[in-house]
Amino acid sequence: MKLSIYTDGGARGNPGPAAIGIVVKDGKGNVIKEVGKYIGKTTNNEAEYRALVNGLDSILDKDVNEVDCFLDSLLVVKQLNGDFKVKNANIKRFWNEIKRLERNFKKITYNHIERSKNSEADALVNEVLDSI
């Protein structure tokens, strides 16, 4: 089975109160899971990574071979694809966790998309942050 994961993380202030949004879709584009969660005070970049970690972790119980990940954070996509180095020690922890999670899938891709094409995950983040 192949799934698509759309993730977003955001903080109001940097660092500040932060949340993650995750939307998982099947091969036909149907939403099979949505998660919006408050993650405490952190940075935007850490929230972006934490969203992806949570997204990948949330599909481990499914019979998934391929995962296409869609993020509006160009930095995170470039780091995960090996185009940019990860210099921040805290971010490196999350990068390592994602690389560990990759082993559960035959194929995984990281794709940068415009914020407007990530509106479902972005809305989940804002919903959570507006409620605190």
For the chain, domain boundaries: 2-131
E-strand ranges in 12-86 read 16-25, 31-42, 66-71
pLDDT tens digits for range 47-97: 999 999 999 999 999 999 999 999 999 999 999 999 999 999 999 999 999
* pLDDT of the residue at 99: 98
Find out whether 110 and 1 touch, Cβ atoms under 8 Å: no
* Residue 124: other Cβ atoms inside 10 A: 24
* pLDDT of the residue at 78: 98
pLDDT band at 104 (very low <50, low <70, confident <90, very high): very high
Separation CA 37–CA 46 (nearest Å): 14
Strand order in the sheet with 2-11: 31-42, 16-25, 2-11, 66-71, 107-112
Return the structure tokens found at 102: 């990759």
The CATH architecture assigned to 2-131 reads 2-Layer Sandwich (3.30)
17 alpha carbon, distance to own chain's centre:
17
Residue 40, helix vs strand vs coil: strand
Burial class (CB in 10 A: 0-12, 13-18, 19+), 130: exposed
* pLDDT of the residue at 79: 98
Quick one: average pLDDT of 98-116? Answer: 98
Percent of the chain whose predicted confidence (pLDDT) is above 90 = 100
